[in-house]
Amino acid sequence: MLITPEAIRTLQRKLYTKAKQQPAYRFYALYDKVWRADTLMFAYRLARANKGSFGVDGMNFEDIEQKIGIDRFLSELGQDLKHKTYQPSPVRRVMIPKADGSQRPLGIPTIRDRVVQMAV
């Protein structure tokens, strides 16, 4: 079980409190919270805990950790988010069999995209 780091929990509490106290208030500057190093690291850990399959890039968590390194991976991702050059990758499509014999499509994003989704 993953426990949310205190710095992220504090941010979440502050945002929640502000939203509840002032329902009409609009948060215009939340994007900078997405690319914070602690947010991305926790998002990576959450995505890793979900044990999903690889996306269209063929990269799994072991590849990232052994070939690139988590710090470098998250640093590059953070820079792309910060400079607004991040572009999501296409989603890998697989067909999942249903009980009635038919199939349903399932989209599998890349790990990079999953980390961003978790951070958001």
Give strand ranges (E) for the chain.
Answer: 92-97, 103-108
Domain total for the chain? 1
Assigned domain for 1 exists:
no
Q: Does residue 1 surpass a pLDDT of 80? A: no
Asked whether residue 58 is domain-assigned, the answer is: yes
C-alpha radius of gyration, the chain, whole number: 17
The pTM assigned to this predicted structure is: 0.86
Range of the domain at 107: 6-119
CA 13-3-82 angle, 5° bins: 65
Give pLDDT, residue 47: 95
Q: What is the pLDDT of residues 31-90, one digit of tens each?
A: 899 999 999 999 999 999 998 889 999 999 999 999 999 999 999 999 999 999 999 999
Predicted local distance difference test score (pLDDT) of residue 115: 97
DSSP β-bridge partners for residue 107: 93
